[in-house]
Each structure stands twice: as structure tokens, then as C-alpha cells.
């Protein structure tokens, strides 16, 4: 037998690959977790080996409105159906956000053909909006320091550009605003650094939920704005539902506990003939106020001046 056929050589090769590789037994306990899996998920080997993805450390997902557990999990499906499975899903990153991946899972059989476990490989899908990153002109940054996505001024610029394209060429787009309802409560209970961490998780989750051609920005302390390029009114509800479910399952680990982003509200609007940034944003705010079951606030100042964080 050639030296390269040594099983330990095979294992070393698998462990060093940058594609994520995970092997589990029939109890879903992780037996192999390679360099690629560490890179994509943020979880190191010693944190996952011998543990199950169904444990509360949430290796693969969040159990709140989970999209990849139980019968829908590719690993479970591969074992149950006794055949390979291919799927796109979201893995729960150690930092708290959801990471879009493409997964290939297959049952593992012993020498007698009996299924003894499952293996999956996964690659991160490109989901972060390139429009939200690397926004620098000279010495001035257009990125929000707290979240890493576009700041308020940059989102206003994107809105003006989208409205101009809509007026000249009738290219549709949608605007959604996501508001976190429990920022003050999170700050009072856990402190400002925890709030910053939650905001970063929400920002990354938004980028992962949308397309590379969409724009995501931090609009005010507890609000994010997204511009959905080419989005129709028919397709918007599905986008909002996906965004809501993903943000609701986002969390951070904080002093040994798990902190969720909490309840969110979403407002939305589409451009109309003769719209300005101010009128479009006002309709988004009206929609958000209705979603919150409250009276709309005056957003005239917010449309031109970013709200300063409270506290």
C-alpha cells in the first residue's frame, strides 16, 4: 500500500482543506471538524468535537425559528433518505449572525453497507453586499464604525441614485427599514458594548439575507435601511419574511449567556413618480409606525441629519 493511502494521511488532508468538512455519527455527535469549518463558522475544533448540533451552543443554527434542524437538516436528510443531499442553508456563526452556505451531505456506510453516520462539506456563499463595504473617498470613510455597513450619509446617496435611475429608466426598487425594539432594554441590562455587538450581528445578518446588488446601511441607532435593487412589490413580502426570521434568530454570547436581538418591526415602501428622498423615507417611516402600532414620528430632520445614539 502506498504511503499516501494511509488513513491518517487522508484525515490530515481533510482537516487541512479550506472547504468546510463535518462528519457526525448517528447521534449527531461531531467526529471531524476541519480548518475550513473553523474558518466559515468561527467555531474551533475543541468547541465542537464530540458535541451535537442540537445542543444549545448552536453549531449549525439557532433553535428559534430554525430553518436547518430536525428533518430539514441536510445531515439528517442524508441519513433518513439514505442518499446524498444538496442544499443551500444558513449556519449559525459563532459571532451570532447567520452565514449563507451551500451544503453537500451524504450518508457514511461501514464495510457491510450499513449507515453509521453522515458527512457534509460546505462552502460560504457570496452574500455580503459589496456596495456596503470598502466605501472610502480620500481620507473620509462612508462606513458606520459601530456596524461596518454603510452609514446614514451613504444610504442617502444610494437613495438619491436609486430614485434618479427610477425616474430616468423606471428601474424598480424597494426600501425596507428594520427597527430593533429592545435596544434600550439591552443597554440597561447588558451595557453599551453588548448593544454594539447585537447591532453588528443584525447588520451582517441583513447583508447575508439580501443580494450583492442590494444596499444595507445603519440609519439610526436602532434602525437599519436596505435598498433592494430591482425588487418588485410582489417579491417584497418574501424578502421581509426571510429578513425577519433571520434577524429573530441572531444572537451573541455574552458572559456565558446567550443574548438575542429581540423583537423587530419592519417598514417598507416603493418609489412613486415625483418622489424625493424625504417623501420616500417619510412613507417608509409611516409604514414602520403602522407596524409598531404607533403614531408616525416626524422624520423630516432624520432624512437630512443622522440621529445620534442615545445614552
- Give the pLDDT confidence of 253-279 residue by residue, as tens digits: 777 777 777 788 999 999 999 999 999
Distance of alpha carbon 95 from alpha carbon 198, whole angstroms? 10
Tell me the domain boundaries of the chain: 3-124, 130-291
Can you name the CATH fold of 3-124? Beta-Lactamase (3.30.450)
Query: Into which CATH architecture does domain 130-291 fall?
Result: 2-Layer Sandwich (3.30)
Phi-psi region of 225 (alpha: psi -120 to 50; beta: other; left: phi over 0): beta
Q: Are 300 and 286 in contact (CB under 8 A)?
A: no
pTM, 2 dp: 0.61
Residue 298 confidence (pLDDT): 41
- The model's confidence at residue 303, banded by pLDDT at 50, 70 and 90, is very low
Residues 115-144 have pLDDT tens digits of 999 999 999 876 444 445 444 444 347 888
Q: Which one is predicted more confidently, 16 or 135?
A: 16
26-47 confidence digits (pLDDT tens): 988 999 999 999 999 889 999 8
pLDDT of residue 299: 37
Amino acid at each position: 500500500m502506498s504511503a499516501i493511502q494511509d488513513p491518517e494521511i487522508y484525515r490530515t488532508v481533510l482537516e487541512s482543506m479550506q472547504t468546510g468538512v463535518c462528519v457526525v455519527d448517528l447521534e449527531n455527535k461531531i467526529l471531524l471538524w476541519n480548518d475550513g469549518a473553523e474558518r466559515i463558522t468561527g467555531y474551533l475544533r475543541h468547541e465542537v468535537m464530540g458535541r451535537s448540533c442540537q445542543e444549545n451552543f448552536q453549531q449549525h443554527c439557532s433553535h428559534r425559528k430554525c430553518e436547518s434542524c430536525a428533518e430539514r437538516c441536510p445531515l439528517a436528510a442524508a441519513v433518513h433518505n439514505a442518499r446524498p443531499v444538496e442544499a443551500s442553508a444558513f449556519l449559525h456563526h459563532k459571532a451570532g449572525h447567520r452565514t449563507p452556505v451551500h451544503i453537500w451531505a451524504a450518508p457514511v456506510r461501514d464495510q457491510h453497507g450499513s449507515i453509521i453516520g453522515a458527512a457534509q462539506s460546505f462552502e460560504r456563499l457570496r452574500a455580503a453586499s459589496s456596495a456596503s463595504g470598502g466605501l472610502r473617498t480620500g481620507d473620509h470613510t462612508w462606513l458606520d464604525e459601530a456596524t461596518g455597513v454603510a452609514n446614514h450619509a451613504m444610504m442617502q446617496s444610494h437613495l438619491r441614485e436609486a430614485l434618479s435611475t427610477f425616474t430616468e429608466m423606471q428601474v424598480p426598487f424597494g426600501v425596507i427599514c428594520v427597527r430593533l425594539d429592545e435596544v434600550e432594554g439591552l443597554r440597561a441590562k447588558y451595557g453599551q458594548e453588548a448593544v454594539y455587538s447585537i447591532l453588528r450581528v443584525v447588520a451582517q445578518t441583513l447583508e447575508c439575507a439580501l443580494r450583492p446588488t442590494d444596499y444595507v446601511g445603519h440609519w439610526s441607532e436602532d434602525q437599519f435601511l436596505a435598498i433592494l435593487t430591482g425588487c418588485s412589490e410582489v417579491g417584497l413580502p418574501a424578502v421581509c419574511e426571510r429578513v425577519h426570521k433571520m434577524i429573530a434568530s441572531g444572537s451573541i454570547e455574552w458572559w456565558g449567556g446567550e443574548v438575542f436581538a429581540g423583537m423587530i418591526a419592519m417598514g417598507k415602501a416603493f418609489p412613486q413618480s415625483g418622489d424625493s428622498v424625504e417623501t420616500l423615507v417619510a412613507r417608509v417611516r409611516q409604514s414602520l409606525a403602522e407596524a409598531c402600532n404607533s403614531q408616525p414620528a416626524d422624520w423630516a430632520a432624520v432624512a437630512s441629519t443622522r440621529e445620534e445614539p442615545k445614552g
